[in-house]
Structure formats: C-alpha cells, structure tokens
Structure 1
Amino acid sequence: MRTATVCFLVVVLRANGWAEVDEIPLTKLNLTLPALSRVRAATDAGDADRAAAELLSYFRQRTAPQWYFAADQPPPPKPGAADAAAEKVLRREYAFVGKPATLTHDLDWNANPLNDVEWPIELNRHYTWVALGRGYWNTGNERYAADFVYQLRDWVNDNPRPTSPRGGRYTWRTLECGIRLSGSWPETFYRFVNSPSFTPEVLSTMLGSMWEQADYLAKFPSGGGNWLVAESAGLVTFSILFPEFTDSAQWQKLAFDRLSQEMDRQVLPDGAQVELTPHYHSATLGSFLAATRIAQLNGVPLPGNFGAGLERMFAYLAYVAKPDGYIPMFNDSDHDDAYARLRGEPLVTRPDLRWVLTGGKEGAAPGFASLAFPWAGQYVMRSGWDRDALYLAMDAGPYGLGHQHEDKLQVDVHAYGRSHILDPGRFTYAGRWRGHFVSTAAHSTLLVDGTGQNRRRTPSSTWVTDHPLPNRWLTNDDFDFAAGSYADGYGKNDDVLHVRKVFFARPDYWIVTDLLLGRDGYTGEHEAAVQYQFGAPGATADEKPHLVCSHNEDANLAVLPLAARPLEVDLHEGEDNPPAGWIGWSLHRALKEPATMAVFRQKGAVPTQLDCLLFPYRGADLPPVRLEALPEHGTKGSALRISTAEWTDYYYCAHSEGGAARFGDFETDADLTWVRTDAAGKVVKAVSEGGSYLRRGGAQVAGSGQLSPSPVTKDGEGRTVEFDSAKPGKAVLDYGYADGGGYLFRVEQDAQPGHNTVSLPDLLPELRYVYRLRVVADGRTQVVQRGRLRLPPPRKFDFEDGTTQGWEGAVEVDKLGANGSAGALHLASDPATEAQYVSATLAARFTVRRELAISFVYRAPLAAGGDWCYTKLTLQDRDGMDWSAYFARAPIRDWQKVALTLADFRGDTRDHPEQQGKPLPVGTHISRISFTQRKGVTTQPVAAELWVDDVRLAVE
C-alpha cells in the first residue's frame, strides 16, 4: 500500500499506524456555518485532534440531510453473528459479471483475473463495501467495519486522483465516480459512521475522497449518454448530503442543470432513451431517479422538466415490455423484468401504467394494445394486455447513441406466456463472444452472402433521429402493419437494400415479408439468408415444406416459409466455431444458453423474396395450418392464402407502386388487403388500406368503391413535394423505393386550400423514390398526385455551415478556411513520434466515367520535426478495392489547389498486389471517398494534420 495525500483539512491527523496525512486546505469546508462552530473553535485554537473529533461528533449527531435510513437507528447488535455476503468480502471472494475469483487481502484495484474489463469495473463500484455495511448493520460485527476501513484507506492511497480526464484506468472512470457517489459511498458512510472503527482519521479520508470525486465530476464530464446522467446523479447526491462544503451549492446547480439538459437531449418524445437499449434506458432512468429521490427526501426542488421526462421514460419501459413484463433484449440488454422494476416505484402514478404493471388490479386499462415508438423506430404489436397475449416487437430504428448491435429490422416474438423469437442479448463485453452477440449473424434479420450490416461505418450524426421516423405503421382493431428498410450495405456490398414488412392478423398470427432489392436497377446474384433466433433449444425442421417448429410443452411457434426459388433450411444450436444458436440472458450472471437458430437461404439475382407465417399455438401439437402462394404472388406483391380448419384468410401486400391487382377471386387497388372467410367460404371480415375498392367476383366487399380522378403526375428532385388542394383536409404522402418494396414510408400534415408543400424526411442521396399523395377531405380520400423523386447527392463541400457535411473520421471544422472563407475540414491526430495516420471519409456512390474530375484546396503544415508525409485521395469501390491519387509527399504550409482526373488514380489495395499500380477502370462502382495523410517517424512528437476546403466532385 503506497501513500497519497487527500486534500481535505488543515489539520495533521495522526493515522494511528497508517501513513501520515499532510496539511491540506481548510477552505473545502464552510466553517462559518453555526453547526460547525465547535470545529471552527478547535481549528482556531490550533487543536487538530479536537477539531477532527468535533467534526466526527457533528456528523454522528446531525439529523439532516437525510439518507434512506437513519444512521443512529440500526437493529440491535447480535454478538457473534455473521453475515454470509460480508464474510465472502472478508475472504476476498468476489463474483462480478458472473465470474468468481479470489484476490489477495491487500487488493490490487486494477486486478482483472478473468480478462474481462467489466470485472475490475464492478470491483471499483464498491458494492462489496455495501455488503460489508449491511452485514455490519444487521449484526454489529465490528470485523466488517474494520475491513471497510482497511479497504477505504487502501483504495484512496493506491488510487490518487488523476490530473486529467480518462485517467486512472478502472478506478477513476467518471461513470464509476458517479455510481459511487450516488450509491455505495453514501450508504457505507451512513452504515459505518457510528462504528468505533470509524475514527476521525477515517472521516477525513472518506470525506476528502468524496470531495475529490465530486470535483473530478464537476470538471471532467463525459460527452453524454447514460454516463453523464450517472455522473450528474452522483454529483447531486454528494452536494445534497454534504452541504457543509463550500462547493456544494454550485455543484448542485451544475449537476441539476446537466440533468435537466440531458432529460431533454436523451429522452426522446416517445420516451425512449437515445441509446435505444431497454437495459440502458432502465439504467439511465435509475440515475435520474437517484437524483430525484435524494432531492425529494431532502426538500430540494427539481428541474421543471423532470416530471414529464420521467413519465415518458416510465411509459416507454412499460409499453415496450413483453406480456410477462420482461424487456426485449435490443442492443446491449439483458433479460430484465421491467414490470418488477416499475411496479414499486411511487412516482409511477399514471392510471394506464398502474393497470399494466399490476395486471389490472390498479388504474385504468390503456385504450390501445399496439403502439409505435416513432423516434426509436420500434413497433410493438399485441393482441391484448393479458400475460398470454401475442406480442411482436420490430426494431426498425436508428443505430442509437451507444451500446449498438448490427440488428436492424429484427423481430422479437412472445405468445402464450413464452418468448419464441428473441434478440440474443449482450452476454459479455469481452472476447470473441462480444463480436458474435453484436453481429447481424446473431439476430433475427437478414444476411447477404454471409455478411452483416454496417451501420457502425455510417455518419454518427445519423445514429439518433431528431424527428419521428416515417416508417409506415398502421394499427386498428383487426390488424397491425409495420414496414422498415436497411440501406447501409452488407460487408463491402452497397448495391442491395433489405425491406421487411410485418403484418399481424390480430389475434392469430404474423406474416413477415423480406425483400432483398437492388439499388438503381442492380440485378446481381446473392445469397439471402433470413434468420430466426428461437428462445429455446430443440426446434426441428421438416424437409418439405421447410416448416420449423419449436418443441415446448406449454406453447410453441411454427415458422412456415414460402419462396419462389429453391430454399435451404439450416438449424444451428449451441455452436462455438463460428458461434451460432445462443441466447445471452445476462451479462452480470455470465449466462448464455444454446437455442435453435433457423436460417432460410436462397440464391439468385435480386430481387429475392421470402414470406414467413409465424404461427403461435398452445400446447405441444401444431394444429392444421397451411400457407399457400396464390398465382399472383411474387416480388410485385405478396398474394397468400392461410388456412385452418375454422377459417381461410387471403392476404395481399403490394411491393410496387400499386394499381389493380388480383389474388384468388378478389381484386383490389389497395396496398394492403386482408380477408377472412369461414369454413363455408363466407367473408366474415375484410379490411384494406391505400385503395378505393376490394371486390370479389365483381361485387364490392370493402372500400368506398369510388375511384379517384386521374391524379397529376409530377416528378422532381429534392426533399419536398408540392401540390394543390381544392379543400382543407389532411394530406397523406406515401413513398418508397423505385426499385421495389412498395410504399414503405408515410408522412401526414394538414392540407390548406391552394398550394401546399410536403417535406419527406430521411431520403437517401442517389436513390430513386416513388410517391403517392392523397388528400382526405369531407370524408373522402382522393389520390391527387403521383410521381418519382430523387435527392441529388452533394457534390460541393465548402464547410461554411460549421458542419463536416457528411465527412467522418478524426475531423472537425476549422472556422478559417481557404482564402478567408468561413470553414475548412480539419483532420488531426495526437502528436506522437511514431508514424501516424489521419483520415476523413465520405459515403459517395457513383460510377467512374472518363470525365471524372475532383478538385480541392489543402494545406498540411506539419509541426517542426515533421519533414516527411504523404497525402492522398482514395476512391473505394463496392468490392473494397482502393484506388488512390497521391498529391503531396512533403509538408505544405500554404493553401494549394489540386485538380485530379481519371488518369491520376491507381490501384492501392494493400493486400492485393496484383491490383496495385493499375489504372482505375471506367465503369467501376465507387462507394466511398477518403482523404488520408500519413506522417513518418519523428524524433519529437508531431501530429499528422491536414486541412481541406472547396471540394468539388464532377463524377456524374
């Protein structure tokens, strides 16, 4: 144990066998407070020992501020009693993230005996001290107090406060400081403060370290997410519990200001937290609540936005949860019970939430079953609110601020009291298993040629939305429908799009349609593999018709696939190399279990299509059910018949721009149609969306039967559609990809008489779209306009708006650009003597023509000692091959203009020597552009540094 100075009191505290604590500033305590008059008198008299004793006496006697129990009211002592959890701590027997290990008595606080970073992180949250404190509280066993004192002193002396942020490895991460100050340290303070072992010297050590941690949090906040909320909750807690410090008032204001700001920044209007991870939503909610509870307990006013923000967070967690109360394990989540988490929370008072959480014993029933979280992009379909209800959650949202998985468009299915299809969870943050559980290959979505999604390489500015997503969502008493798409590429391939549509025939089954489309007319051949991760082992597959069924005693799920091409079905369960077929139930218990992964594969030219009937049922025996393709079925539209002994359903969903379609003996102009007939063939239910008629044998079945006048056709470029309306009403604009998939997105707004403009969010550059505009007025819906849209990609970059304009990497915008302009792209690494690279990348799709021309201005003024570098512009094609033009091999201090043409680019792929130096072929499909600088080895630390401005791409 080495010694360190804790800056707290200007008293010399003799450590009674410990290292001596030096004199330190008394200014940290407000000794003008009347309650500290005895401490001040002793200090003024120069009696250090008495000052320390008076301070301890003060803290033992004070009754406010309050913690959650009174420090002077423990249970009666139990002589000779022992506490099992505390005894393990005495023996240094620890189990973190489900992994047990025994450490030496003299602890190494950075010990990582199992090579898992979460292990020393958990060690330094000091919940083991809470175990000692509760053991002491319940028994009065002084050994627990003595060991706490030993560990406290050991930790403080071994881990001095870092002088800069991100110092101290595991011991001084700001997240751990916040967790300690809002939980483990205050609790242990109140548990032990009246112990004989808790001497004036211990008080000095503990209060001094808490002050240092609070000061560290005040000075070095993290950038956001759950970390910043946890840090601020710790700072709030310390400042409320210890108002005797002169900094406490300003720290309290600072922390509440941060929390108020983060409540607005992190809690989306639909209630989801921006990491889009139900587990970290709950963790962040816990930090907000920690600050709320300690403030309310002590009569401290809360920021005005706390009430509404907390209510939104409560509602999200309650409504995204499955019928059994557990969350879907989206992103880095565990199998957590949300209902148990919320049920006992006194701040959850809204009647609908009380009803859901208590199974109808309190409150009032919600007026809905299914709902969308449009900012999170999560869509929940339910048959009801009972524990046996059918439930499906689809994740069609953004990547999220942190803790992300490559799992867009996955589904999670629960029915009749059991989870059947699951997100596999997080399991671990260490080793190869981490790579598996975050990968597309672990999730119930689609792989292309064995490769997964690439959202991690997209601009971080797109990872959280600032508007509700336009994904098409329909819900009514008879059905739910959700659509989503993924367009960020698979592996090195950017030429395909994945579209998923989910239809819920309430309360019986789901139809999931997966389309793999080519971009801009691309028709290359690929293998498309649709995966379903079951929740238990033992599922089996029939060779024909490739039916996959789970095998449980209580409830099961059948997946019936339908494809026009030959289909292969593989089942994987508990495989290690490569990993496949696992559910990671818990990180903290290190619990993963084998479970069947069903994979449906088909090969061929895009577009490809797979329709799957997800049919849940009670008991072990699958009732007779059949899925058939009607003659009109294909990539232009799913036309299906689903039949049982009691009923036959007809389903049609258009995957093109629409128009008249036939399926069976029905015809419609709708995008979506569902008909149920009884055993005698009589129509008992018929619903349609996006059309004017549904007929059977020429007779009207549903819809108004009134055809719209021929709509105006209007094509354009940009993010808006303009139209004229004769009457006031509601404008409904549906749009989708011109390459297929049908109308996947929807925006709605009021229509005014005369000229109107509708904005279309989330259009992707270079993709072509189709749209249909309807106006609802006087109870009648009319299609008034159709057309095609294209958003031209940016080809000029001047950075004068203060943003990187889509360029990603170690980049920022310098306020001073070339020739005095208002901005330039600045790339920089940290100074170092070894070779350093710095790069900025732009997603830009185009086909190389002979007229290729790229121009820009740049400067690369390396610091003294940096005599050599190279700087290049690289075009990366869709196969991952690099084609580079080297335009500088020495530092350049003044702005220089560069104009590159096709002849300047040569093969530059490191692991493909056969390509290096070869000319860039006309017709190559480019997906990315990068500026890169490499500075050489230097005798002094030098940063790689590059400024770029006025970039012009002539690549059409």
Structure 2
Amino acid sequence: MKDFYLSSEELAETARKYVLEYPEHAEAALQIADHACRNEFIIPYTNDLSTWIPMGTPVNWLYNPSRDPEFTWGINRHWHMLDLGKAYLMNDNEKYVSVYMEHFRSWRAQNPVPQGITYEEAVYFQQLGPWRLLENGLRVQSWITAYKYMEGSPQLAGEFLGELKEALAEHAEYLTRYLGDTHINHAMMHMQGLFMIATFCPEHERAPYWRQLAVERLELCLVHQIGPEGIQSELTTHYHDASIEMFGTPYLLGRLSGYPFPASYGEQLARMAAFTEAMIRPDGRSTPLGDSNLISHGQNNLALLGAILQREDLISRGSVSPELLWMFGTEQFDRFRELQNSSRPDLSSIAFPQTGYYVMRDARQYVFLDAAAMGGAHGHADALAMEWVWNKQLIFADPGRYTYEEGQWRHYFKSTRAHTTVTVDSLDQTPYLSTQAWGEPEAKAAVHRWESGESYHFIDASHDGYMRLESPVLHRRWLLASTELPLLMLVDWLETDGGHAIEQRFQLLPEAKVQVLSGEGDCPHTHLDYSGTSMGVDLYWKAAGNLEGGLEIAQETGWISEIYGSKEEAPVVNARLSVHGTAGIMAVFVPAGYADPETLILNEMTLDPDNRVAALLGEYDGTAFRITISGDEVDCSYKGRGD
C-alpha cells in the first residue's frame, strides 16, 4: 500500500515530463525555489505579487511588512517547499533539500505548540498567527509532499525523518484537540491535512484515530457544505472548484493506502461535477462567481475529479493540468489526454433552480445569470448579474475578487456597481459592512420563468435588494438569447413610486474599445471592438416610463482582477436614467464578425411599462423578425421578404 500518490521512481519521471509539458510552470517553480534559498518570498493571496520579500536569516516566520494578515498566514503554509521539492527532482541539486530542512527546523524553533490557549481562540477562523487551524492543515501537506519529492536525498536518510514525524504528530494532536466548524471550508482543509498525516505515519499508535476522525469530519463537511444541487455552500466558483481537490485528495489517498472512504462519500463528491462543468465558458475559463479569479480553469478541476473518481466521462470533458500530472504520473497523464482529444463540449443549457444559477448556451454563445443568494462573506452584491460570451469572446465580464484586505478596493470588487447589473442611487443591493460581513437585509432573488428551446433561451428574474429604500424599488430583469438570430435582448424593469438614479452597467474586459456613437436620444448606440480579433458588438437602448429627461450612455473606468492581488483598468458602459416612477430600459446587443457578410438590422424597439411588454422588430439575412415579451409569454416570429 502507498503512503503517497506516486513512488520516488514515478516522481522522477513526472519531473522530466513536467519540464517538457509545462516549461513555464517548471521555470516558475525553479525561480521560487532559488529565491527561497535566499530566504526571499512572494506570498500568494497578498496584494504584492511582483516583489520578492526578504525574510531574514534565519527566516523570521512572523515578519509581516504589510497590514494584511494573509501575509502571515500565507508564509506559514510553506507552499514554497513544494517548489523546493520540484526543483530537486528537476535538477538533482542538494541545496534545495538543505533549505527545506533549514526552513522546517527554524519554523519549529520559532513556533512551539501553543500552550494555555482557549478552545474559542484556537478554533476562531480568523485567528492571527501561524497556528490558526487552517495553516496547520495546509502546512503539514506542504511538509509531507516536499519530503516525498526529495525522499531520495541522502540528507533525509538520517534523523530528519524522526523530527518530521514528531512535528506531524504535534500538528495532528492539535487538529484533533481543536475542531473547526464543519460548515466552513477551513474545516475540510484541517481534516485533509490530518488524513495525510495518518497516511504518512501509519505506524503511529494514534494514526487509526486520526484517520477515523478525519474521515468522519470530512463526511460532515460534505453534508454541511455541498447543497442539494452539488454546489459548495459559499456559492463561488473558486471555493467550489477548490473543494473538489480538498475533498478529493483524501478520498484518493484512502484508496491508495488501503483505507477507502465509504461509497456514499464518492457519490456525494461526484455530484459536484455538474456545477463545475456548467461554469466552463467556451473560451475555456470559468465564470468567476463571488470571490473567484477571472482566470479560473474549471476544466482542470473537472478532469481532476474524474481521475480521483475513476470516471472517464468526466476526465474526457476536462483538461489535463500540472496538478493532474503530479498526482497521477506520466502514464495516466497521457491516457487522460487521449480521452480528451476525442471529447466534445456539452452545449445544452442548464439550470440550478434551487440555488439560482442559470446557464444559456448553444453553438455560438454562453450566457450566465446569477439569481442565487450571496453565500456569505465570499459573496458579492451581484444579484441578476450576467456574463456573455459570443464565439469564444467574453463580452460582459465579472470583475474577480482582487483582495480580502479591508479597504476601498475590497468594497469595490464586492460592490453592485462592479458587476453587470443595475444599481439604484449608486447603492449596493445589500449594505456592505466589512470584508467578512454584509449588512441586513440581504438581497433575495426570485426566478419567475425559465425557458430553453430551439429558438431561444429566456429567463425572467427579480430581486428585492432595493425594497429597503424609503421609496422602494423592485428590479426585474428579462434576458433573451436567440439561437436563430445573432442578438441578445435585455430588459430591466424598475418598479417604484419615487424618484431614483438608475444605472444599467456593463463591465467589459481591458482590451475592449468603446465608441459611444450616439449617447443620447430615442435610441442610443454604442460599438465595441476587441483588440487582435475581428469581433465587434453593437449595443442599442430604449427607455420608457416615468422618466426625468432621457437615457444617457457613457463610458467609465472600472476594474478587472484576473488573479488575487492584481487589478487592471477596464471600461464600463453605463446607461444612466433618472426616474420618478416605474420605468423600463431595453438593451439589444448585436455581435458582428467583420468577415461575416450577413447583417442584422433593427427597425424598431418598443417598451410598454404599464403593461410590461417589450418588442423588437428587425431583419436578418433577408428575413423579417419580431420578438415580443410580456409578463406571461415570449413570441418569436419570422417572415421572409417575399411572403
């Protein structure tokens, strides 16, 4: 039976494959390892990802040059040790082993097991310092994995293994003494680490207890954190996909080590695949809900889940990755890629009605609408926000997360105005309190209709976030994606008796170029271009109801964060309107590849707020069309010119 995913021989082969398949990743690992040899670090999940921070000799594991507690937490997870191990496998240089041992020993000398700490202090999920339970669970995984990568080194043949196992036992006892809340994601990482200790130290008299406790609490985490539709409770793409690895690696280690998990655990784990797959856009990335990175790659997680569960159907629809290579080795990696070469993506629309996520997709487009709850501290005030992809070009985007550090940037990226939805009086749908807290009442969304057929996809949803205002506003959104016409139709109804400033906002990518061709008048018009592509989009608007003045279209500066700690200016198209009662805003988006000779002409856009009716008339490729949406039906009709 194994105590790790791969043997020493398999790891050596994997390192050679890694250099060939992922040279940029290999170079980055070497860079991190070489800087670690000089006691210099860049800490993930902090706001400076470009500066190597010198941490002293020996490393001062409590040094924090920032105001961000994520820095201390990050450095004490010892993720750099994985790169020391990879560098050793790639270069067979003993200096990386020496630094690994030095960092391990200096950390232990500086950070003895806390004594006299209260239970409440120990389990507090925001506890400062290196002994927070989350860091315990993650740090032991770094120690064990790095050791296995460097196990062939003669330096590790002596007393060091005894020191490592002693430290692991200390951590295991700490993780069993203080048990975190199984309703939050930290708890699964606590037990992920504990199970890995039990697997690595099977001879320890307490190993059976550690193993049993880890399995039982991971089962509890699955029950408490994975909803009826297989979606992780924080309702973010990042934490859902990360949970696949957190729940999945102990399941895999259990099978490899001869201590398999119950079958029901694997069945629960498999249910997570549907949401991961649904969030994969045609451009290969994933819709980044809540606190997620814009460059999320759900296909990697889908393949990883398939490999863990031994499900070729999931593997074939996913994508190989460096993580898959290091966990399953070269032979399996090649087999997985062969499966994926013959796979075709699923183009059917999918809904998660109990949660509130809706995906409309076909051969040309992908449209996502968020009608879910916020999901807690990692959620954003983004009810009825949308993403739209046309011919693999992301048009309307989610902004990402950027930072967890309290301040204006944390608020901005969580705010309503940062998302492709509607703001009222420049307020958030749910009041913002702090990085880890939202105020009351929380905006609640409801879906009234959902249709997906051969001619169109349609959703009708609303939220009550602005009903808390002195003059309440109910925001209702209609979204129709035609499968026969190259257009997307959006109608926002604002039901109110008072006066308000309305903004219908569209977050674009940094490379988008905006031309406001007609910013005011009866039918404002804006054109978008995308650098390096032949992709263009025309945007048309119509407003009606109790208006004070007309609709005004303006370009503003917003922000996009591809990964945590990095942000970039990006244009926002803002349709502004002042109302003194119920009103509606219709927006129609027409993509046009310049090489495509077919053209779509819009002849008339009409809105009737009193009866809640929106209509669009036009011509496409010699055919006249009419789309009419009312409170209870959608009618799409087409008529040839000669009829």
Letter in 2 for 1:380: V
Structure-2 change in CA distance of 1:74 and 1:534 (3 Å): closer
Confirm or deny that 1:504 pairs with 2:481.
Answer: yes
Structure-2 change in CA distance of 1:189 and 1:598 (3 Å): same
Q: 1:89-130 CA deviation, whole Å, 9 max, x = no partner?
A: 111232224242332222222333244433332212212112
Q: Secondary structure at the match of 1:399?
A: coil
| Alignment-derived partner of residue 659 in structure 1 | none
Q: 1:447-488 CA deviation, whole Å, 9 max, x = no partner?
A: 11111211622478x99x9xxx75421111221111221113
Residues 498 and 517, structure 1, Cα contact 8 Å, conserved in 2: yes
Residues 348 and 354, structure 1, Cα contact 8 Å, conserved in 2: no
Structure 2: how far apart are the matches of 1:127 and 1:339?
23
Structure 2: how far apart are the matches of 1:478 and 1:472?
16
Structure 1: how far apart are the matches of 2:498 and 2:131?
52
Structure 2: how far apart are the matches of 1:562 and 1:304?
55
Confirm or deny that 1:529 pairs with 2:503.
Answer: yes
| Alignment-derived partner of residue 219 in structure 1 | 177
Q: Secondary structure at the match of 1:209?
A: helix
Letter in 2 for 1:339: Q
Letter in 2 for 1:485: S
Higher RCO by CA contacts (8 Å cutoff, separation 6 or greater): 2
| Alignment-derived partner of residue 348 in structure 2 | 369
Structure-2 change in CA distance of 1:94 and 1:595 (3 Å): same
| Alignment-derived partner of residue 237 in structure 1 | 196
- Stretches of structure 1 that go unaligned for 5 or more consecutive residues are 1-63, 574-580, 656-669, 683-956
Residues 303 and 314, structure 2, Cα contact 8 Å, conserved in 1: no
Deviation at 1:403, TM superposition (A): 0.8
Aligned 1:802-881 pairs, distance under 5 A: none
| Alignment-derived partner of residue 58 in structure 2 | 106
Residues 315 and 353, structure 1, Cα contact 8 Å, conserved in 2: no
Q: Secondary structure at the match of 1:188?
A: helix
Structure-2 change in CA distance of 1:572 and 1:270 (3 Å): same
Aligned 1:315-464 pairs, distance under 5 A: 315-334=274-293, 335-343=295-303, 345-346=306-307, 347=309, 349=311, 351=313, 354-355=316-317, 361-362=341-342, 366=346, 369-384=348-363, 389-430=364-405, 431-454=407-430, 456-458=438-440
Confirm or deny that 1:314 pairs with 2:288.
Answer: no
| Alignment-derived partner of residue 674 in structure 1 | 636
Q: Secondary structure at the match of 1:156?
A: helix
Aligned 1:717-756 pairs, distance under 5 A: none
Q: Secondary structure at the match of 1:269?
A: coil
Aligned 1:113-124 pairs, distance under 5 A: 113-124=65-76
Residues 471 and 498, structure 2, Cα contact 8 Å, conserved in 1: no
Residues 311 and 348, structure 1, Cα contact 8 Å, conserved in 2: no
Residues 302 and 318, structure 2, Cα contact 8 Å, conserved in 1: no
Structure-2 change in CA distance of 1:142 and 1:332 (3 Å): same
| Alignment-derived partner of residue 126 in structure 1 | 78
Q: Secondary structure at the match of 1:648?
A: strand
Deviation at 1:615, TM superposition (A): 2.0
Structure-2 change in CA distance of 1:116 and 1:365 (3 Å): closer
Letter in 2 for 1:67: F
Structure 2: how far apart are the matches of 1:297 and 1:68?
7
Deviation at 1:83, TM superposition (A): 5.0
Deviation at 1:200, TM superposition (A): 5.1
Structure holding more helix per residue: 2
| Alignment-derived partner of residue 554 in structure 1 | 534
Structure 2: how far apart are the matches of 1:350 and 1:617?
38
Confirm or deny that 1:91 pairs with 2:91.
Answer: no
Worse-matched range after superposition: 432-441 or 213-222 = 213-222
Q: Secondary structure at the match of 1:608?
A: strand
| Alignment-derived partner of residue 23 in structure 2 | none
Deviation at 1:493, TM superposition (A): 4.7
Deviation at 1:530, TM superposition (A): 0.6
Residues 510 and 613, structure 1, Cα contact 8 Å, conserved in 2: yes
Q: Secondary structure at the match of 2:51?
A: strand
Structure 2: how far apart are the matches of 1:500 and 1:151?
55
| Alignment-derived partner of residue 246 in structure 2 | 287
| Alignment-derived partner of residue 926 in structure 1 | none
Letter in 1 for 2:455: D
Aligned 1:23-34 pairs, distance under 5 A: none
Residues 268 and 375, structure 1, Cα contact 8 Å, conserved in 2: no
| Alignment-derived partner of residue 226 in structure 2 | 267
Worse-matched range after superposition: 199-208 or 242-251 = 199-208
Letter in 2 for 1:560: Y
Structure 2: how far apart are the matches of 1:602 and 1:620?
35
Structure-2 change in CA distance of 1:125 and 1:490 (3 Å): farther
Q: With structure 2 as the length reference, what TM-score do the two structures score?
A: 0.83
Q: 1:56-104 CA deviation, whole Å, 9 max, x = no partner?
A: xxxxxxxx542123348875999xxx95442211112322242423322
Q: Secondary structure at the match of 1:477?
A: coil
Structure 2: how far apart are the matches of 1:135 and 1:352?
31
Residues 609 and 635, structure 1, Cα contact 8 Å, conserved in 2: no
Structure 1: how far apart are the matches of 2:453 and 2:500?
37
Deviation at 1:630, TM superposition (A): 4.0
Deviation at 1:237, TM superposition (A): 1.4
Structure-2 change in CA distance of 1:364 and 1:569 (3 Å): closer
Structure-2 change in CA distance of 1:591 and 1:542 (3 Å): same
| Alignment-derived partner of residue 70 in structure 1 | 7
Structure 1: how far apart are the matches of 2:235 and 2:171?
29
Deviation at 1:168, TM superposition (A): 6.5
Counterpart pick for 2:131 among 128, 148, 172? 172
Worse-matched range after superposition: 630-639 or 258-267 = 630-639
Q: Secondary structure at the match of 1:497?
A: strand
| Alignment-derived partner of residue 492 in structure 2 | 514
Residues 447 and 461, structure 2, Cα contact 8 Å, conserved in 1: no
Letter in 1 for 2:538: A
Residues 538 and 551, structure 1, Cα contact 8 Å, conserved in 2: yes
Structure 2: how far apart are the matches of 1:230 and 1:571?
43
Aligned 1:148-187 pairs, distance under 5 A: 148-162=100-114, 163-164=117-118, 165=122, 166=124, 169-181=128-140, 183-187=141-145
Letter in 2 for 1:105: T
Residues 617 and 624, structure 2, Cα contact 8 Å, conserved in 1: yes
Structure 1: how far apart are the matches of 2:400 and 2:209?
41
Aligned 1:535-684 pairs, distance under 5 A: 535=509, 536-543=511-518, 545-552=523-530, 553-564=533-544, 565=547, 566-573=550-557, 581-587=558-564, 590-619=565-594, 623-626=599-602, 628-630=604-606, 636-655=612-631, 671-680=633-642, 682=643
Deviation at 1:491, TM superposition (A): 8.0
Q: CA RMSD in A?
A: 3.0
Residues 225 and 266, structure 1, Cα contact 8 Å, conserved in 2: yes
Deviation at 1:623, TM superposition (A): 4.0
What percentage of aligned pairs have identical amino acids? 25
Residues 451 and 490, structure 1, Cα contact 8 Å, conserved in 2: no
Confirm or deny that 1:481 pairs with 2:458.
Answer: yes
Structure-2 change in CA distance of 1:356 and 1:203 (3 Å): closer
Residues 356 and 365, structure 1, Cα contact 8 Å, conserved in 2: no
* Bigger CA radius of gyration: 1
Q: 1:194-222 CA deviation, whole Å, 9 max, x = no partner?
A: 53433755334322221222222223232
Q: Secondary structure at the match of 2:185?
A: helix
Residues 406 and 452, structure 1, Cα contact 8 Å, conserved in 2: yes
Structure-2 change in CA distance of 1:174 and 1:679 (3 Å): farther
Deviation at 1:620, TM superposition (A): 7.9
- Stretches of structure 2 that go unaligned for 5 or more consecutive residues are 17-28, 320-336, 432-437
Structure 2: how far apart are the matches of 1:242 and 1:190?
13
How many residues were matched structurally?
A: 577
Structure 2: how far apart are the matches of 1:356 and 1:619?
32
